Structure 1
Amino acid sequence: MLSSIFYGILISQIPAGYLSGIYSLKKMVGSALFLSSLFTLLIPLAAEFGEALVIICRVIQGLFQGIALTTQQVVWIKWAPPLEQVRLTSLSLSGLLLGPCVVLLITGFICDSLGWPMVFYIFGACGCALSLLWFILFYEDPKDHPCISKSEKEYITSALAQQVSSSASSLPIKAMLKSPPLWVISLCNFAFFWANSFLSLYTPMFINSKFHINVKENGLLSSLPHLFAWIFAILAGHMSDVFLSRNILSLLTIRKLFTLLGLLLPALFSLCLLFLSSSFHGTMIFLILANATGSFCMGGILINVLDIAPRYYGFLKGFTNVIGLTGGLVASTVTGVILSQDQGSPWLKIFFMMVANNVISLIFYLIFAKAEIQDWAKETQNTYL
């Protein structure tokens, strides 16, 4: 049941990425958010009829969440000037980290005082309200927004004058499939989502297996890694744009540096968690650092597609998300299998698999990564299917 939501997300990624260049982002994101929230409200009712219906609800949830996940990132093609792209993108994506922090922080209290169904009713209702705010407050294009100044509109549109989307051109599929930079981004996405999904889903179980604490305390402790991950994500976006705007480092060096930090540091802190944490406080410190430092990828692989192919960003973001989320699905499934079958040292095997994924992916990225627009993504390129 924990992994079932990934199936829906996987199905929707590439179609959502492609359609985001054709249809209204306002309608796509708002509708997806509302429908995902609606199925959240239905889960307690589905649970009364058995686990099969819960799994179906979660798959459908994932379908709509996948649409929102991909299409909301395409917003920045029209809204983020080049020197602010990472800062704004990481700020919006950091919500993926802040969300679990809030959920884990208060879910234990809700379950303890109101019962577990209220968790789904409360968050489902919040999602519905948020979708209404989206329809009211979001505008597709800066020039249509009534609350920003004329000078700000001119600054955004002039800064993005050379950036185009894929809506008016066919996709160079063969060239994309032969592109090493795209594949190493995808490989690193696989590793990043593997680590992120494992740490998000199984942190409460890991804490409970080591310290046997109640659900209220576990929720509070499990939220701390996500809180620091959110802070690090915002920090990574800001640092990346500062390095670029002040010409401290080249764009490629920035992408490699933040990917190095985002994949290597979680691997190192995971090893520390296994071998150097003999106390409760030591375990929590290394667990927080392993989770939080992965957010440095916000300034690396998670924005790198926009560097190499801005005009196909929506489609390629969906493509790399599919590979990345496959890592999350595999991580969730494999971790569950190992925990259910290995009574000896399951956590040792699980953490070593995560470390190996991160290190191997990082090596390929440092060799093959690029940060300039590829020939097949340039406006003058004759594209083909």
Structure 2
Amino acid sequence: MISAWKACCGRLPQRWVFAVMGFLAILNAYSMRVCLSITITEMAPTTHKESIDDSCPYNQTINKDENNKKDVKLYDWDEHTQGLILSSFYWGYVITHLPGGILAERFGGKYSLGLGIFSTAIFTLLTPVVVDFGDSAGLIVLRILMGFGEGTTFPALNAMLAQWTPPEERSMIGSLVFAGAQLGTVLANLLSGLILHSYSWPAVFYVFGGIGVLWFLVWVLICYNNPYEHPFISEREVKYLHERMNEHTHTKPPPVPWRHMLSSASVWALIAAQVGHDWGFFTMVTDLPKYMSSVLHYSIQQNGFVSSLPYLVMWFCSTASSWLADRIITKGIMSRTNVRKLGTTIASLGPGAFIIAASYASCDGTLVVTMFTIGMAMMGTFYPGMKVNGLDLSPNYSGTLMALVNGMGAFTGIITPYIVGVLAPDQTLSQWRLVFWIVLSFFIVTNLIFVLYASGEVQYWNDPEFVIRDREERQLSKETNRQTPSKKS
């Protein structure tokens, strides 16, 4: 069978096959994660408060849904409860980041990633059943379990990217893979809106859970931890990857040099940038459908479209800027460090400014959607900016580094939905403006830290010889201290 696969697919560059499947992994992860954000507007419809002055007028003709299903159970969840439900995913998500990264570096990321997505798919399929029996409490527990599964996604993929991406293709391949977050959000919002327009809300979870199971079956068959384990990769591609990556990338590096990693200013700069990015991104991903439904009163079908449009444009921007970033670095126009800083700055200040502008566009739906779309398009430069920066700093420990960085950023996923629930209980314009000003503040502060301290160069502690020598010296120092008798006073 292997010979048949090699004859069929050996000529395909397997690093790009991995890139496409990695992209689909994140696309599935985000579609299963995000589909609840729009579906919850139908599971627990908002009661429109005409008496509140600072709210958009409710247009009955716009929000009319001719195919609304009356026989489906609805839930009386207030904004606070909905905030807890939407944030509960991240309670589990942050816990499995670090174990996922360490396991991926030690044993490879194929199964830590694959089984994580597969378990999330199973829990997604079970969502309607669990909600029916357990109401909000059951859904919160299920979302925590989904977070456990997805927590391994980015660390495992980063560990595999380190094995499959030569430096000159890193921005493009890395951004292609990570762009699954945008298209997964597009798919979740757009397809959920279409499904909810014609069917009841449980159908959303059956569709996305089924797609996740299908992806897992294909992933197990055609993707492998590194080029040397791949049974039907061409010898030419193995040679090329080895020549381009053998200096800084090793399949079995020594244990993680935690002391040096955690004392690195460039690592903490990357963590700061990730926190800023995630604060803005998770606010938008989790709560933009609620804004479109509760503030602007779009129908469920319209909501799916207008909530997905910003992420579709963001994907185009991330792809184009990634290609441009690789060209700039390869031609020596700008250093890798400055390319990462420029991309991150554009992706911080641009979205922050346009999100604020959207909140002051009041009830002009077209202008609001335009402002959100431009802002999220500019966020696309995060991917050739800080998102691939962990691969620059340490290819050998990229899984652990991604676990540390993405795990710290993921705490914002716990906080932001809760903040929206607390600060915008009535879903008014002034309440949402405060939410968006907080987003802009985080963008500015975290970007400043990244610009001051970030680096695009491989760090000294990535070198296995240094790590081994450092461990031996510390061990020798401990033994010397134990053998030296203490001086009597």
Deviation at 1:124, TM superposition (A): 0.5
Other-structure match for 1:271: 356
Match of 1:40 in 2: 124
Superposed CA offset, 1:10-52 (max 9, x none): 0010111111111132222221111110010111000012211
* 1:1-385 map, 5 Å: 1-49=85-133, 50-145=135-230, 148-165=233-250, 167-275=252-360, 279-340=364-425, 345-381=430-466, 382-384=469-471
- Does the C-alpha gap of structure 1 residues 343 and 25 become closer, same or farther in structure 2, counting only changes over 3 Å? closer
Task: Return the TM-score normalized by structure 2.
Answer: 0.75
- Give how far 1:64 is off: 0.7
Residues 281-314 of structure 1: CA distance to partner in whole angstroms, max 9, x if unpaired? 2211111112221121111111112212222111
* Deviation of 1:208 (Å): 2.4
- 1:282 is aligned with what amino acid? L
> What residue identity is the alignment partner of 2:344?
T
Shift of 1:113: 1.5
Aligned partner of residue 345 in structure 1, secondary structure:
helix
Counterpart Cα distance in 2 of 1:180 and 1:236 = 26
Partner AA of 2:130 in structure 1 = A
Q: What RMSD in Å do the two structures reach over aligned CA positions?
A: 1.9
SS across alignment from 1:340: coil
SS in 2 for 1:169: coil
Deviations 1:81-104 (A, max 9, x none): 110011101101111110110111
Could you tell me how far apart the structure 2 residues matched to 1:42 and 1:274 are?
37
Aligned amino acid, residue 308 of structure 2 = S
Matched to 1:359, the amino acid is: I
Identify unmatched segments of 5+ residues in structure 2.
Answer: 1-84, 475-489
Cα separation, 2, equivalents of 1:272 and 1:254? 27
The residue identity in structure 1 corresponding to 2:352 is A
Give the TM-score, by structure 1 length: 0.95
In the alignment, the residues of structure 2 paired with residue 89 and residue 177 of structure 1 have an alpha-carbon distance, to the nearest angstrom, of: 24
Deviations 1:62-86 (A, max 9, x none): 1111112321222111111110011
Amino acid at match of 2:117: L
**Is the CA contact 2:294–2:427 (under 8 Å) kept in the aligned structure 1?**
no
Q: Distance in 1 between matches of 2:351 and 2:163?
A: 33
Deviation at 1:263, TM superposition (A): 0.8
2:154 and 2:402 in contact (8 A); partners too = no
User: Aligned equivalents of 1:210 and 1:327: distance in 2?
Assistant: 23
Distance 1:355 1:344 in 2: 16
Q: Aligned equivalents of 2:296 and 2:361: distance in 1?
A: 16
Is residue 170–residue 383 contact of structure 1 (8 Å, CA) maintained in 2?
A: no
Give aligned-pair identity as a percent. 26
Please identify the structure whose Cα radius of gyration is greater: 2
CA contact (8 A) 2:248 2:462 kept: no
Q: Could you tell me how far 1:252 is from its partner in structure 2?
A: 0.9
In structure 2, do the counterparts of structure 1 residues 57 and 276 end up closer, same or farther at CA, with 3 Å as the change threshold?
closer
1:249 is paired with a residue of what secondary structure? coil
| Contact 2:295-2:429 at 8 Å conserved across structures | no
Match of 1:22, SS?
helix
Distance 2:168 2:206 in 1: 41
1:314-363 deviation digits (Å, cap 9, x = unpaired)? 10110001111112221122112111278671111000000000001111
Tell me, in whole angstroms, the C-alpha distance in 2 between the residues paired with 1:353 and 1:247. 37
Specify which structure has the higher proportion of helix: 1
Amino acid at match of 1:352: W
Aligned equivalents of 1:73, 1:211: Cα separation in 2: 39
Equivalent pair of 2:276/2:442 in contact (CA under 8 Å):
yes
Aligned length: 385
Partners of 1:41 and 1:246 lie apart in 2 by: 48
